[in-house]
Amino acid sequence: MGYSTVEECDLILAQALTSSTPTAPTTSLVKLIDIGNSRDTNRVPDTTVEYYINLADSQIDGILSQQYFTPFDKCAHGEWILDEDLNAVAEAGTEAAGTDALTDTSGTPDTTTSNVIEVSTAVNLIPGDEIVLHDDLTGDEEILIVATIVDQNTFTTTTDVEGIFLVDSGIRIIRLRFPPPLNQISARYATSFIYDKYFAAQAQPSISDYGKEMRIIAMGQLNDILSGKILVKCARRRGGMFDNPWLDSAYGAAAPWNGFDTTSRDMSKPQ
């Protein structure tokens, strides 16, 4: 898995690379809003997007390796408390408060698993987030992926929760992410080259203004990290200049955008 996801790249891609038909054509009705907002997987399949994400991640690791040990690892970004029991088994003839905890007509406990999770607030979660259900009493953990946000306090996961997690056990829901803004840099950088190759290159040999603008934004964020304006969370630093992270000093090199004007290094210019 790269610093960004295919879904993040799809949201940044310009409309020129979207399809005018649903991704999976069927005889059933589809929402008109979905037509024209889905990437044309015939021209640009997922494997192509993943390849350019890998190239973008290599660029990020290469530039930031002078300051940090790379590649970067995921770490905790946000924590929530479980508000309703998950997969709680009800006693015969009773109704428990936990999700899917009702007994059937024969009185046998219903142990059907669920993928609906209620937390204190779900407003900061987005589909695609990786979360960990952690039981502080037993140490049990389960890793899940957010599928949809139902309301302010409820979200669903791509797979059912297999274990039993009770509110009284002190269940924590921890979101795992790469340090920001690495996902934004990776998605914008990968998307800029996809757009230039599969759309702009068919119309003219030069690069597009859209792709150039995405690279300027991505490299600008990398420069913020190089100059110390952004500190990468949960990363191991290199060099003595970071003994005091608030020192008003910076490396002489800059990320390669708008030419490769650097004071001490010759870095390749992105095309």
Please indicate, yes or no, whether residues 165 and 191 belong to a single structural domain of this protein.
no
What is the DSSP-derived secondary structure letter of residue 66? T
Give residue 252's pLDDT. Answer: 47
d(CA 12, CA 10): 5
Please indicate, yes or no, whether residues 16 and 32 belong to a single structural domain of this protein.
yes
Please indicate, yes or no, whether residues 10 and 100 belong to a single structural domain of this protein.
no
Please indicate, yes or no, whether residues 11 and 140 belong to a single structural domain of this protein.
no
Output the CA angle 21-24-25, nearest 5 degrees: 60
Average pLDDT on 117-140 reads: 87
Please indicate, yes or no, whether residues 170 and 51 belong to a single structural domain of this protein.
no
Structural domain that includes position 144: 75-177
Please indicate, yes or no, whether residues 97 and 157 belong to a single structural domain of this protein.
yes
271 is a domain residue: no
**Using 50, 70 and 90 to split pLDDT, how confident is the model at 270?**
very low
94 is a domain residue: yes
252 is a domain residue: no
Instruction: Write out the E strands in 34-151.
Output: 75-81, 114-118, 130-135, 141-149
Please indicate, yes or no, whether residues 236 and 169 belong to a single structural domain of this protein.
no
Residue type, 239: G
Is pLDDT above 70 for 267?
no
Helix ranges restricted to H, the chain: 6-12, 46-64, 182-195, 201-203, 209-226
Please indicate, yes or no, whether residues 33 and 118 belong to a single structural domain of this protein.
no
19 is a domain residue: yes
134 is a domain residue: yes
Please indicate, yes or no, whether residues 110 and 62 belong to a single structural domain of this protein.
no
Please indicate, yes or no, whether residues 164 and 199 belong to a single structural domain of this protein.
no
> Domain end: 177, 194, 209, which one?
177
**Using 50, 70 and 90 to split pLDDT, how confident is the model at 238?**
confident
CATH of the domain at 101: 2.40.30
Q: How many domains does the chain have?
A: 2
27 is a domain residue: yes
Residue with tokens 């000093």: 249
Give residue 53's pLDDT. Answer: 94
Count each helix (H run) and each strand (E run) in the chain, helices first. Answer: 5, 6
Please indicate, yes or no, whether residues 63 and 189 belong to a single structural domain of this protein.
yes
Average pLDDT on 171-198 reads: 90
Please indicate, yes or no, whether residues 85 and 161 belong to a single structural domain of this protein.
yes
Which tokens hold the place of 71? 């590649």
Structural Rg of the chain based on CA atoms = 23
Length of the chain: 271
214 is a domain residue: yes
Please tell me the pTM assigned to this model: 0.69
149 is a domain residue: yes
d(CA 182, CA 184): 5
Is pLDDT above 50 for 92?
no
Average pLDDT along the chain = 76
